[in-house]
Structure 1
Amino acid sequence: MTAVGYRSIATKQVYVWSVAALANKLPISMAPLACVFLARERPGGYALGATLAAVWVVAEVVGAPVLGLLFRPERAAFHLALGLGTGAVAYAALFFGPSLPTPAVVALVFLAGFGPAATPGGMRALLTELVPERDVSKVLSAEVVLNGLVWAGAPPLVTFVALATGPGVPFAVAAALDVAALCLVMVLPTGRRGGSAGDGRAPVAGGADPEDTPSALGLLVRAWPVYLTAAASMAMLSTMELVLPALVEYRGMDVGTAAPLLMVFWVSCVAGGVVYGRRSWPGGVRRQSLVCLLVTTVALTSVALLPGAVGMGFGLAVGGAFQAAVLVTRNLSLRERLPAASHTAGYAIMYAATGVGYSIVAASSALVLTFLSPAAAVLGGGMVTLVIVAAGGLAERERPRGKGGTGKAGTGTAETAGTGRRAAAEPSGEAWPGGLRRWVNQRTP
């Protein structure tokens, strides 16, 4: 491994993007808890708040792939402005939520989740356009650090604002942040590498028959192993966040110990992102992703067995550090599999996959807790995650074959004209039956 550092990405454009991303990510991390405070004094109370938060999450999960597939890199500024503007309008209307009827609040919450759902993926694709290819892993690591800081800071921010001012004010703050992000996005260059995706097809390698070139949807479908590992990466996280308070109390400790233990995880995640981005690491990013996901799963599962707060904190610290590497490497793996024009759609689908993974395991953990101990719930979540990791590993081991029949992963890619970058048009048939592949391509415009 070779030390590299972050100095090469310290540019004006990256700084502007960082402020815009902060303004974009804060409303996303604030919204679920803000929904709870909005409903706290309404009929239905916390139950209604939980329902509103669930509506917001469902809207994001639905909106991310739908809007991501419509996203065109050459019109990135327009798509980002539309998403951020929609979010700003919905959040501004929710400022008046305490006086609105419940159906109107539900509709606005859904719009607030759906409208900007593709902006995180679009912002990530925009970030990778602002730096040379050799610095992509560094900026993605920096984004993981920013994510960790945002998700650590959003809950106390929402709590303070809602209790000190009013239940609708956090949404007014979210609206102002989305407007700020919109203004900053408009000054950044967009669409420099995306090319045109107007025909819905991937870039064609030299001499290849355009009719044999897979469609954009076909390429997105073939990236399913990355989506699977993305869902797995959130599975154990959901188990820990939801079961840890019960586990701490089950161990005979004060339930308040859960908060600093979760803080250990997020601080370790931030530190892990910094360390990963500072160096280049041996092995391909797909192998790195699976290894780090395996270590994360084992470390977090061990929290159910390690003694005392110190032992639990150690497991969370190790899991957090490797979780950061998982977050970076899964994005790099997706970039390897997809051409530049499909990056935003791929990021959006992966974002939805993480939400689905989080929700399914969260519901499963709640069900298990009604019958078994918290430790059993953590161990069960770990076993489910390991099964998903194993499935992803088997899918990654399927060696794609190009027309040359070499069987090596990485063949079949084409050099994108003018950039020297490989447009990762995955060779046909990776882990998918040929008939299904042809069926998808024939029915995609």
Structure 2
Amino acid sequence: MSLTASMAPAPRITFGAVLGSPHVARLLGGTLTGRLAGGMAPVAIVLWTLTTSGSIAFGGLLSALYGLASGLSQPVKGRLMDRYGQTAVHLTAALLHSSLLLALPVAGPHGGPALATAIVVTAGLSTPALEAGLRALWPSVLPDARLRHTALALDTGTQGLLYIVGPLLVAALASAHSPTVALAATAAVGLAGTLVVASAPPSRRWRPAPTSTDDGPARRLASPQLVALFVSLTGIGFAIGALNVWAVAMAEQHGRDMLSGLLPAAFSTGSFLGGLVYGRRAWPGSTTRQLLASAAAFLTGWLPLLALPGPYTATIAVILPGAFLTVVVACAYVTTDALTPTGRTSEAYAWLILSIGTGQAAGTALAGRLADHALASAALPAAGAAFALAILLLARPGHTPTGRGQHRRLQPGRSTPT
């Protein structure tokens, strides 16, 4: 091979090349379809409750319990996948989840609030861990690290769209038919997407890498750096949760109901666009530096809200932090992979998801109490982002001064051991 040929730049990775790789489109499409139920169920539960008890407070409580149960159960399902594979865990969870959503309008009115609560909580506990499962599949489906980089950016960037499409679909079904039909559609969508993923050859064949007896203490999942990363991600989730409540407060303040949906939609659109940009090329610097830089940019993007902008300016402003959200989360997944001992990746990814969800719940709760204070409400997303950046700067997860840590090293564009 000539020197010129060996120094030729690697061909550019495109989204078409990634989606055209075997099984990628099926796995990504099935996961997004299955997870669409997560964007539909909370709204469908609230609307169903309104038609039966007429209490929006009880509907909100059920919706919150569903989300909390879903998040708390993620690490358990991740651990089960690491032990028994994906197919059995995904299918069992999906069948139970869909059955419970179908049972809610049948059994709920007859059993009263207690039975409805039990059904909703159990349904939340049984949501399939599709997101963690997909992230665990990428190394086997896409051995090329550059392809994985693009796939992860596309995967992460499209997640926010689920929470735009899901509520809109539920609202349309409930308006045209009934909340019961919306619940049935939610059950069908979740089961269909999970079946597409669980029946795919990579999911059926996937088994975690065997743990090594040489790992010693590294076999423990809760390393200090990994814990610090997960703690920092609660700040990212806090910012997202605070944004959703701030959007409602903006809608009430300006008398424009559409702002409650428009602002989160603009944020999610920014996340999607950020994923497209981030996934089209390899970026300079180590993954740790990319994580720190994107977290700093995420914080900077929230600062214009402190000026209490008007509706149109605010809608444009939230696109910027949304664009960097995808980069932060994608780098967090790569960092998690590098810091996780072999055989524990699905569980680690599930803890990452739970960390963001926990922060989101906390941000929603605190923002609700401060919704009447305009400046405090607008400052909460920046406060969450500042907390995340501070923890990352103190811990620098994935950074080892000598380059020889007990875990896999982080290299630019890589998520596999060197």
- Residue number in structure 2 paired with 1:188: 201
Pairs within 5 Å for 1:38-437: 38-43=48-53, 45-72=55-82, 75-96=85-106, 99-101=109-111, 102-116=113-127, 118-134=129-145, 135-184=147-196, 185-190=198-203, 194-197=207-210, 202-203=211-212, 208=214, 212-219=216-223, 222-247=225-250, 249-250=252-253, 252=254, 254-305=256-307, 307-370=309-372, 373-396=373-396, 399-400=399-400, 407-409=401-403, 411-413=405-407, 422-423=416-417
**1:83: how far off?**
1.8
2:3 is matched with none
- After superposition, the Cα gap between the structure-2 partners of 1:41 and 1:121, relative to the gap in structure 1 and judged at 3 Å, is same
Residues 23 and 30 of structure 1, relative CA distance in 2, 3 Å threshold: same
Q: How far apart, in 1, do the equivalents of 2:94 and 2:228 lie? A: 30
In 2, the alpha carbon distance for the partners of 1:213 and 1:282 equals: 32
Q: Following the alignment from structure 1 to structure 2, what is the Cα–Cα distance between the partners of residues 245 and 14?
A: 37
Rounded Cα–Cα distance in structure 2 between residues aligned with 1:413 and 1:385: 27
Aligned equivalents of 2:195 and 2:208: distance in 1?
A: 24
Structure 1 alignment gaps of length 5 or more: 401-406, 425-445
The answer on 1:26 being equivalent to 2:20 is no
1:264 deviates by 2.0
2-structure distance, mates of 1:264, 1:258: 11
- The TM-score with structure 2 as length reference comes to 0.86
Distance 1:248 1:304 in 2: 17
Stretch of structure 1 that moved more, 256-265 or 11-20? 256-265
Gap change, CA 1:49 and 1:81, over 3 Å in 2: same
Q: Alignment length, in residue pairs?
A: 401
- Which region of structure 1 is more displaced relative to structure 2, 109-118 or 182-191? 182-191
Aligned-CA RMSD value: 2.8
Residue 29 (structure 1) shift: 1.1
Answer whether contact 1:303 1:311 (CA < 8 A) is retained. no
Is the Cα contact below 8 Å between 2:90 and 2:128 reproduced in 1? no
Corresponding residue for 2:13? 4
Larger relative helix fraction: 2
In structure 2, what is the Cα distance between the partners aligned to 1:306 and 1:58? Answer: 31
One-letter amino acid of the counterpart of residue 177, structure 1:
V
Deviation larger for 252-261 or 292-301: 252-261
Whether the aligned pair in 2 keeps the contact of 1:83 and 1:117 (CA below 8 Å) is yes
CA contact (8 A) 2:49 2:55 kept: yes
Structure 1 residues 87 and 139, CA, compared in 2 at 3 Å: closer, same or farther? Answer: same
Counterpart residue identity of residue 244, structure 1: A
Alignment-mate amino acid for residue 8 of structure 1: A
Q: 1:250-307: CA deviations, max 9, x gaps?
A: 4x46343443333222212111111111111111222212221222222124223164
- Separation of aligned partners in 2, 1:399 and 1:19: 34
Deviations 1:66-99 (A, max 9, x none): 2222322662222222222221222222242563
Instruction: Give the Å deviation of 1:347.
Output: 1.0
Tell me, what secondary structure is at the counterpart of 2:203? coil
1:371-425 deviation per Cα after TM superposition (whole angstroms, max 9, x unaligned): xx2222221442343133202221116854xxxxxx434544469xxxx98459x
Q: TM-score normalized by structure 1?
A: 0.82
Give the conservation status (yes or no) of the 8 Å contact 2:340–2:407.
no
After TM superposition, the structure 1 stretch with the greater mean CA deviation from structure 2, 100-109 or 353-362, is 100-109
Amino acid at match of 2:366: S
Quote how far apart the aligned CAs of 1:192 are: 5.9
Q: 1:65 to 1:317 in 2, by over 3 A?
A: same
Q: Deviations 1:160-210 (Å, cap 9, x if unpaired)?
A: 11222222222211222233234322232237674455xxxx435xxx4x6
Distance in 2 (alpha carbons) for counterparts of 1:328 and 1:217: 20
**Within 1, Cα distance between the matches of 2:241 and 2:408?**
38
**Cα offset for 1:14?**
0.9
C-alpha distance in 1 between matches for 2:235 and 2:383: 11
Counterparts of 2:76 and 2:371, CA distance in 1: 34
Secondary structure of 2:311's counterpart equals helix
- Separation of aligned partners in 1, 2:76 and 2:295: 28
